[in-house]
Amino acid sequence: MELQERMFGELTDKTLFEQAKAYAFAYMDQVPEMRVFPSKTSLEAMNIFDEALPVEPVAAKTVLQQLHEYGGPGTIAQTAGRYFGFVNGGAVPVSLGAKWLADVWDQCGGLYLTSPVNAKLESVCERWLKDIFDLPKQTVAGFVSGTSMANLCGIAAARFHLLQNLGWDVNEMGLNGAPPLRILAHDQVHASVKKTLTMLGYGNKNIEWLPSDAEGRLVLEKMPPLDSSCLVLLQAGNANTGSFDHFDAICQKAEEVGAWVHIDGAFGLWAAASKSLSYLTKGMQKASSWAVDGHKTLNTPYDSGIILCRYPDALISALQATGEYILYSNQRDPLLYTTELSKRSRAIELWATMKYLGTSGIDTMVTNFHHRALQLAEGLAENGFKIINEVVFNQVLVGTESDDTTKSIIGRIQESGECWVGGSVWQQKTVIRVSVCSWATTEKDIERTIAAFVKAKKEVALETKNGKTF
Ligand SMILES: *Cc1c(COP(=O)(O)O)cnc(C)c1O
C-alpha cells in the first residue's frame, strides 16, 4: 500500500499544507492590486490544465504548485474591493478562516449523526437569522447552495401547502389532475424563479404576469384580488436596479385569504439588517417563505444560501416527499430542510461571519454598500454619465448617450483590469450594471473606479472621432 502510506505521510509531515498556506498568503497579499479580471496571457496559460488524466500518482507539491502558478492568475479578484460584477459579494476574513478549518473537518452536513457540529450551528444560525429579519417564531431555515436552490425549496413548499389546502396531496397524487394554482409574478422576477417554476411543473403560460414600474417594482394597482390558490412571487432587491417590492400591502392581503407569498431576497433581504435601510423591507415579515444568500451581501464564502419558511411542515413534506414528519434523530437533522442528503457544512462559516460581525457590524457593512453606491453614482453623474435607477440600495445602473458607446465603455473597463463591471439591458437600453457588495470596497476604490470609467469614456470618444470602432 505505497499510495496509502504516502497519503498518511502527507498528513504527518504537513509540508503540503504549509505550501498551501504559503500560496494562500501570497494570494491574499496580491489580490488588492492584481488585475480584477485575468489578462489574456493568464487565461491562455491555463491551457496547461488540458492534459490527459495521469496514470501514475503525481506529487502533492506539483499539484498545488500548478494550481498556484496557473490557477491563481486565472481567478477574478473577488475578495478585493473593485469587483462589481453580477451581485457577488466578498468574503469576510474570519469566514475564510472558518471555512478553511471546516474544510479540514470535512463534515457531511446532512444529519446530526454525520455532523453534530453542523447541526448545532445550523440551529444557532436559524435563530440568529430569524432575529435579524424579525421573522415569525415558527420559521425554520434550510442551508442550501444559493438562492436558486432556496427559491426551489420555498416554491416547492408553497406548492405542497397550497394544494394541501385545496384538498390535494401532491406527494401522493402528483400534478396530473391537481387543482390549478394561480401563480402571480411580475415581469422582473429573477431567472432562477422562472426556472424553478418550470422544474416544478408550471410553465410560462401558467403564470399571471403582472407589470412592474420604472424601477422594476410590482405595480400595486395592477394586483388582482387574491385567493387561497395563489402563490405570489415578490422580490427584495431587483438584480438590476436593487429595488424592492411593496411587501406590506401585498403580504397583508395574501395573509387574509391564505395565499402564499415567497420573497426572493437573494441580496436585498439584508437591507432589513440596516437601521437606515430597513424601510425597504417593511412588511416582508408577513410573507410565507424567504430566499436569501449568505455569499452575496453578508460576504460569506461560496456557496451559501438559505431558505426560511414559516410553515415547517410544508417545507419538510415538500422536500422529503412524505406527509409524515420524519425524524432521523432527536436532534436537528439538516437534510429535512433541503433537497440533498450529503452536503457541505456551510453553517460553520455562516455562523462565524454573523458572530464576528454582530448585528451592528452587519448593519455597518450593509449600510456602507449603499453609501459607496451613492458615492459612485454621484461621481459618475458629475462626469457626464447617466444614472438610470434610483440608488435605493447597492445597485447602480449607468448609461451613456448610446447603446454602442455604453457597450464600448464596458469593454474598455473590463479590459483595463482596474475594476470589473458587467452589462445589462434595462428597459430596452444597454446599461452598465454596478453592484457594490464587498466589505473591502473603500472610498478610494470607488474613486479609482470612477477614474476608470472616465478614462474608458475618453478613449471611446477618441476612437469614435477617429472613425474606429472598439
Ligand atoms: C443572485 C440572485 C439569485 C440567484 O442566487 P444564487 O445564489 O446565485 O443561486 C436569485 N435572485 C436574485 C434577485 C439574485 O440576485
Q: 154 and 21, same structural domain?
A: no
Q: 383 and 299, same structural domain?
A: no
The residue assigned the cell 478553511 is 100
Q: 370 and 252, same structural domain?
A: no
What is the CATH number for 412? 3.90.1150.170
Q: 300 and 245, same structural domain?
A: yes
Q: 299 and 225, same structural domain?
A: yes
Q: 330 and 372, same structural domain?
A: no
Choosing from 22, 37, 72, the residue where a domain stops is 72
Residue with the larger pLDDT of the pair 465 and 114: 114
Q: 36 and 61, same structural domain?
A: yes
Distance of CA 103 from the midpoint of ligand 1 (Å): 25
C-alpha torsion 320→228→199→176, nearest 10: 80
**Reported confidence tier of residue 464, pLDDT bands at 50, 70, 90:** confident
pLDDT tens-place string over residues 288-336: 999 999 999 999 999 999 999 999 999 999 999 875 667 788 899 999 9
Q: 311 and 451, same structural domain?
A: no
Q: Which atom of ligand 1 is nearest to the CA of 236?
A: 13
In a domain, 86, yes or no: no
Burial of 137 (0-12, 13-18, 19+ CB in 10 A): exposed
Give the pLDDT of residue 328.
81
Q: Kindly report the CA angle at 352 between 280 and 303, in degrees rounded to 5?
A: 70
Q: 169 and 112, same structural domain?
A: yes
Q: 363 and 347, same structural domain?
A: no
Q: Which atom of ligand 1 is nearest to the CA of 293?
A: 7
In a domain, 215, yes or no: yes
Residue positions counted in the chain = 470
Mutate to test the pocket of ligand 1, among 293, 394, 433 (most ligand atoms within 8 A of CB): 293
- Please tell me the distance from the alpha carbon of residue 261 to that of residue 248, in angstroms, as a whole number: 11
Give the pLDDT of residue 467.
73
Q: 160 and 53, same structural domain?
A: no
Q: Kindly report the CA angle at 239 between 216 and 433, in degrees rounded to 5?
A: 100
End-to-end Cα separation, the chain, in angstroms: 60
Contact (Cβ atoms closer than 8 angstroms) between residue 157 and residue 336? no
- Please tell me the distance from the alpha carbon of residue 240 to that of residue 425, in angstroms, as a whole number: 9
The residue assigned the cell 464564502 is 301
Is the CB of 333 inside a 6 Å radius of any atom of ligand 1? Answer: no
Using DSSP bridges, classify how beta strands 422-426 and 429-435 pair: parallel, antiparallel or unpaired.
antiparallel
In a domain, 428, yes or no: yes
In a domain, 55, yes or no: yes
What is the Cβ-side half-sphere exposure of residue 163, based on CA atoms within 13 angstroms?
24
Is the CB of 237 inside a 6 Å radius of any atom of ligand 1? Answer: yes
Burial of 282 (0-12, 13-18, 19+ CB in 10 A): middle
**Reported confidence tier of residue 1, pLDDT bands at 50, 70, 90:** low
β-bridge mates for residue 143, sequence order: 306
Q: Which atom of ligand 1 is nearest to the CA of 305?
A: 7
Give the pLDDT of residue 322.
74
In a domain, 29, yes or no: yes
Q: Which atom of ligand 1 is nearest to the CA of 237?
A: 13
Burial of 182 (0-12, 13-18, 19+ CB in 10 A): middle
pLDDT tens-place string over residues 150-189: 999 999 999 999 999 999 999 999 999 999 999 999 999 9
In a domain, 77, yes or no: no
Q: 132 and 33, same structural domain?
A: no
Pick from 5, 349, 313: nearest CA to 140: 313
Pick from 251, 217, 274, 308: nearest CA to 394: 274
Contact (Cβ atoms closer than 8 angstroms) between residue 310 and residue 139? yes
Using DSSP bridges, classify how beta strands 140-144 and 395-399 pair: parallel, antiparallel or unpaired.
unpaired
Whether the ω angle into residue 293 lies within 30 degrees of 0, i.e. cis, is: no
Mean pLDDT, range 61-87, rounded to an integer: 97
Choosing from 332, 354, 376, the residue where a domain stops is 354
In a domain, 90, yes or no: no
The residue assigned the cell 422562472 is 194
Is the CB of 146 inside a 6 Å radius of any atom of ligand 1? Answer: yes
- Please tell me the distance from the alpha carbon of residue 195 to that of residue 421, in angstroms, as a whole number: 25
Give the pLDDT of residue 324.
63
What is the Cβ-side half-sphere exposure of residue 354, based on CA atoms within 13 angstroms?
21
Does pTM top 0.85 for this prediction? Answer: yes
Does pLDDT of 470 surpass 60?
no
Mutate to test the pocket of ligand 1, among 264, 280, 344, 393 (most ligand atoms within 8 A of CB): 264
pLDDT tens-place string over residues 116-150: 999 999 999 999 999 999 999 999 999 999 999 99
- Identify each DSSP E strand in 195-304 by its residue range: 207-210, 230-235, 260-264, 289-293
pLDDT tens-place string over residues 29-48: 999 999 999 999 999 999 99
Choosing from 314, 339, 354, the residue where a domain stops is 354
Pick from 116, 124, 158, 156: nearest CA to 141: 124
Mutate to test the pocket of ligand 1, among 190, 303, 395 (most ligand atoms within 8 A of CB): 190
Pick from 102, 125, 19, 119: nearest CA to 63: 19
For 428, the domain range is: 359-465
pLDDT tens-place string over residues 403-459: 999 999 999 999 999 999 999 999 999 999 999 999 999 999 999 999 999 999 999
In a domain, 228, yes or no: yes
What is the CATH number for 219? 3.40.640.10
Pick from 276, 341, 336, 282: nearest CA to 309: 336
**In the sheet where 230-235 sits, what is the strand order?**
140-144, 305-309, 289-293, 260-264, 230-235, 182-186, 207-210
What is the chain's mean pLDDT, rounded?
96
pLDDT tens-place string over residues 202-261: 999 999 999 999 999 999 999 999 999 999 999 999 999 999 999 999 999 999 999 999
When divided into structural domains, the chain yields a total of 3
- Please tell me the distance from the alpha carbon of residue 71 to that of residue 51, in angstroms, as a whole number: 15
